[in-house]
Amino acid sequence: MKFFTADYILPISSEPIKNGVVAIDEGVIKKIGNKEEFSSSDIQRYDGVLLPGFINAHCHLELSHMQGLAKTGTGLIPFISDVVKFREFEQDVILSAINSQDLAMHQAGIQAVGDISNKTDTAETKDKSKIAYYTFIEMFDFIQENLTGPTISNYKEVFRAQASSGKNKKSYVAHAPYSVSVPLFDFINKENPDNATISIHNQETLDENLLFEKGEGGFYEFYNELGFNLDGFRAIGKGSIFYALSEMTAKQRNLFVHNTLTTEQDVQAAHNWSDNVYWATCPNANLYIENMLPNYKVFLDAGAKLCIGTDSLMSNWQLSVWEEIKTIKKFQSYVALTEILKWATINGAESLGYEKDFGSLEVGKSPGLVNIPLKWEGDNTQISGTTASRVSD
């Protein structure tokens, strides 16, 4: 048994405990409380706070070798073109970047990751990682129904090979409303069990909404350059999320990712559709790609369940949930820190179905333990310049 203390323990599921102590045995929390309740003299002390491991609800670990290759601030369509262009790399370069970023995320206090996979490169790292991975086998057919069949057989292979040992899980998911046909959505719905989490990129760029609202915008040219056309596409007169809502399954946990242009009406429509809706925000990636952020007030006012993702190292400067929190506080400082900490822990755990194990410091859970050396003053805490590091698995 190991004992840990700090100026404050932040269990997340209950009030902060001043000079509290957490007892952990082989990763499992055995006791948590005031220091008077503990007789051990062997207690490791940290400055600042101790809190549960973070949940990174959206990542593309397989793109880790592409750090710094995409220009910042160009917008989503040029960014996707860069992703496609840069896919030729030596396999050992790809694998070693995946491995080192898995270790970096663990060190930065990340306990579980919702990870997008279009390939099988990450499977081996995930199988031996200390992090729990929910792998989203992410499919797209560019809304070209002649590609749906080949796409399905290709991704069945990816699904089979992807990680599933220990706490790892996997499901089939759609890439984005603008890249997935109705028959491909039908396949995804049919394959996944009711308790699955399904993620989808949502409303990340103005052109995406323009396509669905008016049948206009940059996706026509983008698709032409790829050798496809959108002749069969019909606009629905509403934002892209309405297409997703009409094709996805309400009873599963659904994780909408990015939501940079999502409006109050969009959030309301999703909440009317299902009680199991989660909204993952990746602020650093939004700044990297589109130079903009979601309006968090829209989500707070609707009582939305937000969680936090890092996106890939191709669209971020590091894979750290704590760095995402610092960005949110820097640009929308009205969002309470205690609220954002829930996004980063228990909400993320719930979104991936890991809430029995992770996301809060409670007896019986194995959420990991993270230290941030800051002066805790509740929502008035200053966090700029601080770093998060793992204390215990």
Closer to Zn ion at the Cβ: 108 or 176? 176
Q: Compute the distance between CA of residue 362 and CA of residue 365 in angstroms, rounded to an integer.
A: 6
User: Would you give the DSSP letter of residue 277?
Assistant: E
Contacts of 198 (CB under 8 A, 6+ apart): 136, 171, 173, 174, 188, 192, 248, 249, 252, 253, 254, 255
Contacts of 75 (CB under 8 A, 6+ apart): 205, 289, 290
User: Minimum distance from CB of 282 to Zn ion (Å)?
Assistant: 7
Closest-approach residue to Zn ion (CB) = 311
Closer to Zn ion at the Cβ: 4 or 256? 256
Paired strand residues for 305? 278
User: Minimum distance from CB of 373 to Zn ion (Å)?
Assistant: 31
Segment 296 to 325, residues that bind Zn ion, using CB under 5 A: 311
Paired strand residues for 25? 28
Closer to Zn ion at the Cβ: 280 or 370? 280
Q: Compute the distance between CA of residue 96 and CA of residue 138 in angstroms, rounded to an integer.
A: 22
User: Minimum distance from CB of 285 to Zn ion (Å)?
Assistant: 7
- DSSP per-residue letters across 64-96: GGGTTTSPTTS-HHHHHHHHHHT----HHHHHH
User: Minimum distance from CB of 202 to Zn ion (Å)?
Assistant: 10
Closer to Zn ion at the Cβ: 8 or 140? 140
User: Minimum distance from CB of 61 to Zn ion (Å)?
Assistant: 11
Closer to Zn ion at the Cβ: 247 or 311? 311
Least Cα distance to 202 among 285, 261, 289 occurs for 261
Closer to Zn ion at the Cβ: 311 or 324? 311
Paired strand residues for 28? 25
Closer to Zn ion at the Cβ: 49 or 321? 321
Q: Compute the distance between CA of residue 285 and CA of residue 316 in angstroms, rounded to an integer.
A: 5
Q: Compute the distance between CA of residue 56 and CA of residue 310 in angstroms, rounded to an integer.
A: 6
User: Minimum distance from CB of 60 to Zn ion (Å)?
Assistant: 6
Q: How many residues bind Zn ion (CB under 5 A)?
A: 1
User: Minimum distance from CB of 19 to Zn ion (Å)?
Assistant: 40
Closer to Zn ion at the Cβ: 68 or 385? 68
Asked if 371 contacts 392 with a C-beta cutoff of 8 angstroms, the reply is no
User: Minimum distance from CB of 199 to Zn ion (Å)?
Assistant: 9
Closer to Zn ion at the Cβ: 109 or 309? 309
Helix (H, G, I), strand (E, B) or coil at 122: coil
364 to 36, 46, 300, 372: CA distances (angstroms): 21, 23, 31, 23
Site string for Zn ion, 336-375 (x = CB under 5 A): ----------------------------------------
Asked if 351 contacts 57 with a C-beta cutoff of 8 angstroms, the reply is yes
CA 15 distance to own-chain centroid: 26
User: Minimum distance from CB of 211 to Zn ion (Å)?
Assistant: 18
Closer to Zn ion at the Cβ: 7 or 138? 138
User: Minimum distance from CB of 120 to Zn ion (Å)?
Assistant: 18
Closer to Zn ion at the Cβ: 17 or 59? 59
Q: Compute the distance between CA of residue 357 and CA of residue 247 in angstroms, rounded to an integer.
A: 31
Instruction: Please compute Rg for the chain using Cα positions.
Output: 21
User: Minimum distance from CB of 141 to Zn ion (Å)?
Assistant: 18
Q: Compute the distance between CA of residue 231 and CA of residue 159 in angstroms, rounded to an integer.
A: 31
DSSP alpha helices (H): ranges in 274-357? 283-289, 296-301, 321-331, 337-342, 348-351
Order of strands across the sheet with 197-202?
197-202, 253-258, 277-281, 305-308
List residues near Zn ion by CB under 5 A.
311
